[in-house]
Amino acid sequence: MGRRYFGTDGIRGRVGQWPITPEFVLKLGWAAGKVLGGGEGGKVLIGKDTRISGYMFESALEAGLSAAGVDTRMLGPMPTPGIAYLTRTLHADAGIVISASHNPHHDNGIKFFSGDGYKLPDEVEHEIEAMIDKPMDSVSSERLGKVRRLEDARGRYIEFCKASIPARMNFAGLRLVVDCAHGATYHIAPDVFEEIGAEVTAIGAEPDGLNINDGVGATAPEALRAAVLEQGADLGIALDGDGDRLIMVDEQGRIRDGDDILYALTMSRRRSGEMNGEVVGTLMTNLGLEVALREQGIGLVRAAVGDRYILERLQAEGWVLGGEPSGHIICHDRTTTGDGIVAALQVLAEMHATGRSLAELCADMQKYPQTLLNVPLEGQSAAEIMRHAAVQAEVARVEQAMGDQGRVLLRPSGTEPLIRVMVEGRDPAEVEARARQIADAVEAACGQPA
């Protein structure tokens, strides 16, 4: 059964266009209150990032929850992982995040956490969608949900982040540049790193409701790279608009993505004796990480693209580390979701414990060259094109030619009418040529019978 509103990370879209409208979000709040709110008298937390439309959707959700008889605790601007943490520790029935993560300000979205701080399973999202289709009603006025602002949400989350590394560690003399993407970490991340003793320069920490992710943050790390080099900093930390992604810049000015960070943390956990089981990546995880881990006797398991699928596998197996190249890093031994600040702190702790720089921690993992091409679809089904005999034959030829020195991935875009063709291997010229071969076959198949 497919989901009509929910994608891989909640409900997201352009503000003012269905379903990211005040009337839909009002109904969504009511439906979530009915399904997640623990019945009348239940408690749900609402937090948001810094985009201007958050005010509008915050009010709509609050009204819907109140109509369902559910109490609301308003957190204000708060990173997504902070909302997950507070939902769990305040024993709330659910947490709601108003954010479109790394998207520009004109987008927004709604995502949910269950009472244990994890993202909702598919079946619960189906329940909410089914409730949305029912007529909206309201409890009687004496049973309406009440609303209260949680004034110390920021401080609680800061203390949680710092507690994810040993208290004895002091980072005096470490010079950091922290890029908050003008997002939900702007009033949190700089304080976290200053309170553990580092010298912090903050950029992307002046949100105006419209500049979230605009040329800064994890999706635009060049601004951070420039600042690290200009200041001669030891490290740069880039978060995205809702704080669940992390990209870093080492002391040499090299941008380190989620694969680099995941390798460094895996080696850290193994050194400290905390590593358990295998590492969970995605279909997009670089082959170089898989090879480097294999050489260390550690397996890499690939989940579907999306941090929720990484987390599902970690939960099922009882493993501790997973992540995506985009910077979603899940330290499941520390928290229940991807957390950019917590992941950055784990890297700092390993640097402190070993006396090695980030560049040195990543030195033994060499990424394979990768080419990604997007082939537009014009009304065709991505699944049918990917099953086309000529496309499958071309993929088979490329895979046979590259053997175990390369990898091919075809997948439909989750947000656009595209097929993404990805090839990676040891030789950059061959990788680019092989990707073009497959893309040409996909383009030729479009409009042809399978």
* Active-site pick, 53, 99, 101, 114: 101
- Helix or strand (DSSP H, E) at 25: helix 22-36
- DSSP, collapsed to helix, strand or coil, labels residue 362 as helix
Contacts of 41 (CB under 8 A, 6+ apart): 69, 70, 71
What's the gap between Cα 6 and its chain centre?
A: 16
Pairing of strands 175-179, 235-239: parallel
Structure tokens at 395: 């993929």
Strand order across the 300-303 sheet: 300-303, 279-282, 321-323, 329-331
| 138 is a catalytic site residue | no
Give 350's DSSP letter.
Answer: H
The dihedrals phi and psi of 217, each to the nearest 5 degrees, come to 90, -175
The dihedrals phi and psi of 350, each to the nearest 5 degrees, come to -70, -40
Q: Cα separations (Å) of 102 from 208, 246, 341, 353? A: 16, 11, 15, 32
- DSSP, collapsed to helix, strand or coil, labels residue 301 as strand
Residue from 323, 341, 353 nearest 176 by CA: 341
According to DSSP, the residues that pair with 420 across neighbouring strands are: 374, 411
- DSSP, collapsed to helix, strand or coil, labels residue 378 as coil
Structure tokens at 376: 């537009």
Cis check for the bond before 121: say yes or no (omega within 30 of 0). no
User: Would you please indicate which residues are annotated as catalytic (active-site) residues?
Assistant: 101
